[in-house]
Structure 1
Amino acid sequence: MPQLVRFLIRHALIGFAVAIGFVALFLALDLHGLRTLIVQSPEGLLAAAVLFFAMCLTFGSVQMGVAVMLLPREEDDEEPRGGKGARFRLRLRPAQVRVRR
């Protein structure tokens, strides 16, 4: 398996673990009466499963995004690689403005 795929899977699993811990703590503390609502509802198991799935998806995606954004840049990214866009450089010059007194 390629190294980048393993990197992404590892960080997705870290996000899943954090999400499971977060939801478990949220339900254990019965914040806003959510655990009570899930226990008393006839569809409580489905609600808990959807909550776990949504949180795992969200936290896993965020963890993967943060891990990718924190990757070090390669040294050769500073140099233009060619193509049509490399010829045109934007050169900013200060504009002279007349001021009336």
Structure 2
Amino acid sequence: MPKLVKLYIRQVAIGFGLSAIFVGLLVGFNVANLRGLMASTEGGYIAAFLLFFFNGLVFAGVQFAISIMRMADKDDQGPKGGHRQGVRHAQPVAVRVTAGR
């Protein structure tokens, strides 16, 4: 398996682990009465799963982005910004238009 795929799977696992901790803390501390709402609603377990799943997607994406950005080479100290070229400024030109009656 390629190294990048292994890295992605590892970061997704970490993201979903963080999501489980986050949702556990939300429900444990009863933030915005989530525990009572999930317990009293018929489909409360679906809400808990969706909260876990979508937070897992966000946390996994952030984990992967951070790990990719940290992979920059330390010896990449060259000039930054590319080659700047002059910008042409357009000059307005009068155009004759004949209009019929």
Q: TM > 0.5 between the two?
A: yes
Q: How many residue pairs get matched?
A: 84
Alignment of 1:1-101 (within 5 A): 1-73=1-73, 75=75, 78=78, 89-90=83-84
Q: What are structure 2's unaligned runs of at least 5 residues? A: 87-101
With normalisation by structure 2, the TM-score equals 0.72
**Structure with higher helix content:** 1
Aligned sequence identity (%): 32
Q: What is the CA–CA distance in structure 2 between the aligned matches of 1:74 and 1:5, rounded to whole Å? A: 23
Q: What is the CA–CA distance in structure 1 between the aligned matches of 2:47 and 2:68, rounded to whole Å? A: 32
Secondary structure of the structure 1 residue equivalent to 2:73: coil
Q: What is the CA–CA distance in structure 2 between the aligned matches of 1:44 and 1:53, rounded to whole Å? A: 14
With normalisation by structure 1, the TM-score equals 0.72
What's the RMSD between the two structures over aligned residues?
2.3
Larger Rg: 2
Q: What is the CA–CA distance in structure 2 between the aligned matches of 1:7 and 1:77, rounded to whole Å? A: 26
Q: What is the CA–CA distance in structure 2 between the aligned matches of 1:18 and 1:66, rounded to whole Å? A: 15
Q: Deviations over 1:37-81 (max 9, x none)?
A: 0100011111111111111111111111111111122757959xx
